[in-house]
Amino acid sequence: MDENQLISGLARDFTRRFLKVLAAPLPRKERTYGFEYEFLPHRPMEIKDLMEVEGVLSGFGQRGKDGVYFENGICVAFEPGGQLEYCSPPILPHDETAVDGLMDFMLDMNHKIKQSTGIEYLARSYMPGRKNSPLCLTSDRYVNLHRRLAKSGTRGHEMMKGTAAIHLHAAICSMDEVLPLFYRFCELSADKMFKMSEVRRDIWNRTDNTRCGMPPCCRESMDDPSVLIDRLVRFGLNAVVPGEEKPFYLVSERSFEAFLYHITTIFTDVRFNLKGTTFELRTPDSMPLKEFKSRWRRFIELTENIS
């Protein structure tokens, strides 16, 4: 079997199975929204610093597999440079009270961390000079990705340790809206309110062209969700697997489960997130919280009015 036949066979199988996973929780009666809000520490971090911060968080929440969980539904996790990431619970489209409460919580928790550790978390998109700072997450996932990004471009380590973003999520309610939502998110990624700043865009462009940038089909005319899934599956099959330095279609473990894990290491500007069956927009830079509310309202407005 030649490589084209191998890719085509895997793409057919994985597209069929991905569609089943995507459709499993659907239909939903009401769309919910969410965000992941990242903050950069004011100085380069080491593992011991991260452990101190986690200790503060654990004093107010409950440690879990993916981070520290709080009663308001927020999960707080870390990124490889010690960045703090606040993951919101699902939010109804016009529940501004919930959004206000979550923003107050983030400000208060950042203040508690600064009081206890002296580490100040800042809502900035990029802080230079962190390319060679320590890797604060040492699981195989991050160690392998760190090695990969040392070879795949020139700014991948800055991306991992010196940038912060806001990821916006919208739940998929039916298969009929998969394509309209996808196209809307592609539009938003280029909108002046939501696109990457030039400095972050330059970093992304020099990170790894097999896993970064726009999805391969934002400007294609498609008439069925299966076409979109096929395009994204093929992109994933050709993305290099960190630790093996081969595209996925050539690695030894080519199960669908391994593929689903693999695509979580692909950070295109727009992507599916199967944890909550959402579309995820990854372009907005981290910004002061007072600037976020207007963008959140605009994001809801433009996403609710898909056609």
Phi-psi region of 198 (alpha: psi -120 to 50; beta: other; left: phi over 0): alpha
Residue for token digits 């199967």? 274
Give the C-alpha separation, 307 to 290, whole Å. Answer: 30
Burial 137-149 (b: 16+ CB within 10 A, else e): beeeebebbbebb
In tens, the pLDDT along 104-141 reads 999 999 999 999 999 999 999 999 999 999 999 999 99
Residue 50 CA to residue 77 CA, distance in Å, equals: 11
pLDDT (0 to 100) of residue 307 = 63
Q: What is the pLDDT of residue 55?
A: 97
pLDDT digits (tens, 9 = 90+) for 142-173: 999 999 999 999 999 999 999 999 999 999 99
How large is the average pLDDT for residues 227-237?
Answer: 97
Residue 74 CB contacts under 8 Å (≥ 6 apart), including other chains = 86, 87, 88, 89, 102, 105, 106
Tokens of 247: 């595209």
User: pTM of the full predicted structure?
Assistant: 0.96
Torsion of CA 186, 191, 197, 203, to 10 degrees: 20
For residue 20, count CB atoms less than 10 angstroms from its CB and return exposed for 0-12, middle for 13-18, buried for 19 or more.
exposed
Phi-psi sector, 287: left (phi>0), alpha (psi -120 to 50), beta = beta
Beta bridge partners of 280: 169, 271
Give the pLDDT confidence of 183-198 residue by residue, as tens digits: 999 999 999 999 999 9
Split at pLDDT 50, 70, 90, the class of 288 is very high
The β-bridge partners of 36 are: 87, 167
Residue 67 has pLDDT above 70, yes or no: yes
DSSP 118: S
Distance between CA 232 and CA 217 in Å, rounded?
A: 8
Mapped onto helix, strand or coil, the DSSP state of residue 152 is helix
Confidence category of residue 305, pLDDT binned at 50, 70, 90? confident
Domain 30-217+268-304, what architecture?
A: 2-Layer Sandwich (3.30)
3-state DSSP of 38-55: EEEECCCCCHHHHHHHHH
Tens digits of per-residue pLDDT, 191-223? 999 999 999 999 999 999 999 999 989 989 999
Task: Give the integer Cα–Cα distance in Å for 239 and 245.
Answer: 9
Per-residue model confidence (pLDDT) at position 185: 97
